[in-house]
Amino acid sequence: MKKIMILSGAGLSAESGISTFRDHDGLWENHDVMEVCSTQGWIADRQKVTTFYNDRRHDLASKEPNYAHEILAKLEHEYRGRVMHLTQNIDNLMEKAGAKEVIHLHGTLTDLRCEACTKTFPVGYAPQEGDEVCPHCGNKRVRHNVVMFGEAAPEYSHIQEAIRQSTLFIAIGTSGTVINIIPIAKEFTHSIIIDPKRQETASRFDPHSYIDEYFEHFIQKKAGAAMDDMMAIIKEHMDD
């Protein structure tokens, strides 16, 4: 059976006004990324990190899904059980657009996680005040549910699963710096990369200069503007 693997990144949510640390030279909303997004930073100052994610969660409340989120949510419903969407984004805009099965590789802003039993529970857009209790085990030590540099990302196990199951790979708005998309693209005969810019490959030993050269189709547009072209390729692939 033909199936689609989607890997999305910051470029998917950029048109909704979500900023990421990739935007400004290692700064994320004027914070040093290593202070707010690494295990060292977390050990050094838990309150600073907690406040940072409280602010991101507050900002997220006013953000709306864009056209690309809506099309991808519709795609999930149209090909129920045949789309595996893995996102690096921690926002909930896919869910706001109606998606139900998106896998968040780097966690979610709208949940908290228990440090004892590691289970998550919803917090919505509310700040973490420090008096939260894990509803699963009663533990009082809870934290944001965002994967930091220096810790394991258990959801990554879904990447290999998606590669094995899928016949079409679509990379949307991801530069390939956190998750290398070249080895993934190499596993597929059919693939699409959506990016407004050509991204150079990181290694000089690559046979190609640009990441898009590893893909069957390159749609050089922002995510929203690329959706019609993407859907045409998907329809041809799935109906063939």
C-beta of residue 153 within 8 angstroms of C-beta of residue 146: no
- Mutual orientation of helices 67-78 and 223-239 as an angle, nearest 10°? 20
Our CB check for Zn ion shows the closer of 61 and 133 to be 133
* Candidates 106, 144, 208, 217; catalytic one: 106
Query: What are the structure tokens assigned to 190, written together?
Result: 């059919």
Measured on CA atoms in the order 216, 218, 224, 227, is the torsion positive or negative? negative
Give the nearest distance from C-beta 140 to Zn ion in angstroms: 9
Residue 12: which of 79, 77, 70, 80 has the closest Cα?
Answer: 70
106 belongs to the catalytic site? yes
CA atoms of 70 and 94, how far apart (whole Å): 7
Our CB check for Zn ion shows the closer of 134 and 184 to be 134
Our CB check for Zn ion shows the closer of 44 and 133 to be 133
Can you give the binding site for Zn ion, defined by CB under 5 A?
A: 114, 116-117, 134, 136-137, 139
Our CB check for Zn ion shows the closer of 114 and 226 to be 114
Give the nearest distance from C-beta 34 to Zn ion in angstroms: 28
Give the nearest distance from C-beta 119 to Zn ion in angstroms: 5
Q: Where are any strands of DSSP class E within 9-82? A: 27-28, 31-32
Give the nearest distance from C-beta 166 to Zn ion in angstroms: 34
CA atoms of 93 and 189, how far apart (whole Å): 30
Catalytic residue numbers? Answer: 106
